Amino acid sequence: MAAVATPDDAVPGPDALTARELYRFFRAGEEETLALRGVSLRVRRGETVAVIGPSGSGKSTLLACLAGLDEPAGGDVHVGGERISHRPEALRARIRARRVGILLQSGNLIAHLDVTANIRLARRAARSTGPADAGVLLDQVGIRGRARALPQELSGGELARAGLAVALANDPDVLLADEPTGELDGATEREILRLLRGRAESGCGVLIVTHSPEAVKIADRVIALRDGRIQR
């Protein structure tokens, strides 16, 4: 049967990330919070997707499920064609280390390790075999000169760049960012967004949870969450 090619079908290879019908509940005593109620989405390679929504709409819960840091009660998540949900914790951690880059607003670096050691640690977690070419990564994010600095010695902008270098240490299929520019000045924010977008253009899928109009502006697509559901 001849199928009509849609732009979706035209993209070769597996999606960077696919989530199907994710459900996640939290129970505290008598009270149950329905944090995710059937969320499905995909991020293609080369694509930058922004996820927006009011506080409490489920954005961070979604990101944790996509990264395999949390398990959805229902539904499944694939990264780079490999299922990460409903796996033993250790296996999820291994898949995450190899395929997922995570960038948070803060806390991306281990405090007592310098920038290079942080990158090496991320590479070891993924059992990455190649040379630890931290210098190339640091060049890409523009802080080669800070290779031996401890996190506490970095400015806010440098910290964000170093966090991005760690997130990219294993050349992930998908980069997941939760409010990555929430604490940055305008110029630094634009630079980090430019780097994220550039990474997508070289074949990674990028998903950014954000409140920032700047981040929404650079996205190819925007997904709005409300009460644990995607709004159409």
Which positions lie near ligand ADP, rule CB under 6 A? 26, 28, 33, 35, 53, 55-61
CB of 60 to Mg ion, least distance (A): 3
Cα distance between residue 206 and residue 44, in whole Å: 8
CB of 33 to ligand ADP, least distance (A): 4
- Interface segment toward Mg ion; rule CB under 5 A; list 52-60, 80-88, 133-141, 146-154: 52-60
* Helical H segments across 36-128, by residue range: 59-67, 89-99, 115-125
Q: Which is nearer to ligand ADP, 106 or 140 (CB)?
A: 106
Task: Return the axis-axis angle of helices 156-167 and 186-201, rounded to nearest 10°.
Answer: 10
Enter the DSSP assignment of 153. Answer: G
Residue 5: contacted member of Mg ion, ligand ADP, none (CB under 5 to 8 Å, by partner type): none
Q: Which is nearer to Mg ion, 52 or 192 (CB)?
A: 52
Q: Which is nearer to Mg ion, 158 or 179 (CB)?
A: 179
The answer to whether 45 and 16 are in contact (CB under 8 A) is: yes
Cα distance between residue 35 and residue 134, in whole Å: 38
CB of 52 to Mg ion, least distance (A): 11
Cα distance between residue 70 and residue 58, in whole Å: 13
Residue 142: contacted member of ligand ADP, Mg ion, none (CB under 5 to 8 Å, by partner type): none
**H or E stretch at 188:** helix 186-201
Please give the structure tokens belonging to residue 192: 């980090």
Q: Which is nearer to ligand ADP, 163 or 228 (CB)?
A: 228
60 scored as a contact of Mg ion (CB under 5 A): yes
The answer to whether 190 and 161 are in contact (CB under 8 A) is: no
CB of 179 to ligand ADP, least distance (A): 9
CB of 120 to Mg ion, least distance (A): 30
Provide the residue type at 61 as one letter. T
Q: By Cβ distance, which residue is nearest to Mg ion? A: 60
Enter the DSSP assignment of 87. Answer: S
Q: Which is nearer to ligand ADP, 57 or 170 (CB)?
A: 57
CB of 228 to Mg ion, least distance (A): 13
Cα distance between residue 51 and residue 18, in whole Å: 15
Q: Which is nearer to Mg ion, 53 or 68 (CB)?
A: 53
Residue 80: contacted member of Mg ion, ligand ADP, none (CB under 5 to 8 Å, by partner type): none
